[in-house]
Amino acid sequence: MKKLLLLLVIFLLFVSCNDPKEKKLNWDYPDENAEIKTFNTKAIDDKELISRLEEDFRKGKFKIESKEDKREESFSNCNDNLILKIKGNGIRRYYVKRTEAKPKNYYPDFMMFIYEFDSEAEAEDVEEEIREAFYSGNGFCNGKGHDYLVRYKNKVVQLATRAHMFMDYTKEYAEKIKSYR
């Protein structure tokens, strides 16, 4: 009987401490009241950047497997209840894969997104907004990704991999892009 009474008291304490009006945790956002902020890209011209990268890819035994023009990408900022939309014909996605196994039996790969804007200042603003979104919700608002952002002139480049063990490659190429300036 004492055990039952003790469980009842614990249950009542738990229920009484639960306030339904309490603000949601950061990772519950964005919700239906989220603000939507849109950034428009311009027609992409990434020949200079890609030619520089292809040389470094060859040295690292990587190659671009495919490329795809995209029309829209979005990111969530859970801290500010905000959805960032990047739209237009200035978005390109590349799939990059290593041509030789490293480590044994693994072929590291990653995605590279390039977003092009009218000016370097606009690219800088968008980069900062995306970076804030990546770190929002304790870094889990946009999924548990291993993404790097870097700006090259009027472009924002996002390098992403699904596997934690391959994130050194995305970091390496992000650093190379930074050095191209």
pLDDT tens, the chain, 181 aa long:
666 666 566 666 665 554 443 444 444 668 889 999 999 999 989 999 999 999 999 999 999 999 999 999 999 999 999 999 999 999 999 999 999 998 788 999 999 999 999 999 999 999 999 999 999 988 888 887 779 999 999 999 999 998 888 999 999 999 999 999 7
Q: What is the pLDDT of residue 66?
A: 95
* pLDDT for the residue numbered 86: 97
Q: Token pair 């490659």 is at which residue? A: 169
Cα angle vertex 12, ends 11, 13, to 5°?
90
Quote the pLDDT of residue 144: 76
Task: Write the CA distances from 17 to 8, 13, 23, integer angstroms.
Answer: 14, 6, 14
Task: Please tell me the predicted confidence (pLDDT) of residue 22.
Answer: 40
pLDDT given at position 17:
54
- Residue 158 CB coordination number (10 Å): 23
Residue 16 confidence (pLDDT): 55
Task: Tokens for 81, please give them.
Answer: 């209840």
Per DSSP, the three-state class of 83 is strand
Tokens matching residue 16: 């009484």
Phi, psi of 8 (to 5 degrees): -65, -40
Residue 66, CA atoms < 13 Å, CB-side half-sphere: 6
pTM for the structure as a whole: 0.82
Confidence at residue 26, expressed as pLDDT on a 0 to 100 scale: 47
- Distance of alpha carbon 150 from alpha carbon 56, whole angstroms: 16
For residue 157, list its beta bridge partners. Answer: 114, 150
CA–CA distance, 123 with 116 (Å, rounded to integer): 7
The pLDDT value recorded for residue 79 is 92
What are 25's strand-pairing partners?
none
Element (H, E) at 32: none
User: What single letter denotes the amino acid at residue 152?
Assistant: Y
